[in-house]
Structure 1
C-alpha cells in the first residue's frame, strides 16, 4: 500500500516543534496554534477545555488536509486574557484531569485485583 505506517503519523520529526504559535494581525487577542502530529482526538479535547474558560470568546480547530498530520487551534480571548494564557491554562487543566482519571482508574484496578487475590 502507498499509505505511510500508522506510527509515522504521530512521531514528530527531529527539529520540528510540537506546537507553534502565530498571532492574528487582524483581530486583537486572537491567535492560531499549530499542533504537529495530532488529529481530532486532541483537537476536540483542547477546544472543549478552552470553551470552559470565561475569557475565551472563540475556540475552534481544523485539520488543514487529511494527509497533513497536524491541527490548527484558533483562540480569541477577551482583553483580560491572551490566547497564550488560555491555551496554557487549558493544557494544564487537562493534564490535572487526566492525572485524576489515571489515579482513580488505578485505584479501582487495585481494589478489584485485591478482591480476586483472596
Structure 2
C-alpha cells in the first residue's frame, strides 16, 4: 500500500521541529504556525482556547491534507501580545484544563469504585446487565412474558 507507517504520523524525525512560526507580513500582529505530527484534536482545542482569550482578534486552523500529519493555525492579536506569546499562554491554559478534567474524571471513578462494592458479594445489578437495569419484571433481563424483545 501507499499509506505511510503509523508511527510516522506522531513520532518526530531526528532534527524535525515540532512547531514552525511564520510571521505574516500582510496583516499586523499575525502569524501562521505549523504544528507537526498533530491533527484536528489539538488544532480544534487550541483554536477554541485562543478564541476565549480577549487579546485574540482571529484564530483558525486547517489540516491541508489528511495524509500529511500537521495542521496550520493562524493567529491575529490586538497588538498587546505577540502571537507566539498568546499561543504559549493558550497551551498553558489548555494543559491546566486537561489536568483538571483528568482529576475530576479520576475522582468520579473513585466514587464509582466505592459505590460498586455495595450489593450481594460485591457485585451490583449494573455489572450483570450491560444496560444498567435489573431486568424487566424479574425475568433475568428478558421483557415481560419471557420474550427477549419488546412488542409495540
What is the CA RMSD across the aligned residues, in angstroms? 1.3
Extract unaligned runs of 5+ from structure 1. Answer: none
The structure whose Rg is larger is: 2
Matched, 1:94 2:71: no
Query: For residue 84 of structure 2, what is the aligned residue in structure 1?
Result: 84
Q: Distance in 1 between matches of 2:105 and 2:68?
A: 34
Describe how 1:1-118 pairs up with structure 2 within 5 A.
Answer: 1-117=1-117
Structure with the largest fraction of helix: 1
Extract unaligned runs of 5+ from structure 2. Answer: 119-152
TM-score where L is the length of structure 2: 0.72
Q: For residues 1-38 of structure 1, what are the alpha-carbon distances to aligned partners after superposition, in whole Å with 9 as ceiling and x for unaligned? A: 32123332111112111111111122221001110011
Structure with the largest fraction of strand: 1
Aligned residue pairs, count: 118
| Bigger RCO (CA 8 Å, 6+ sep) | 1
Structure 1 consecutive aligned stretches of length 4 or more whose deviation exceeds 4 Å = none
TM-score where L is the length of structure 1: 0.92
Q: Distance in 2 between matches of 1:113 and 1:14?
A: 44
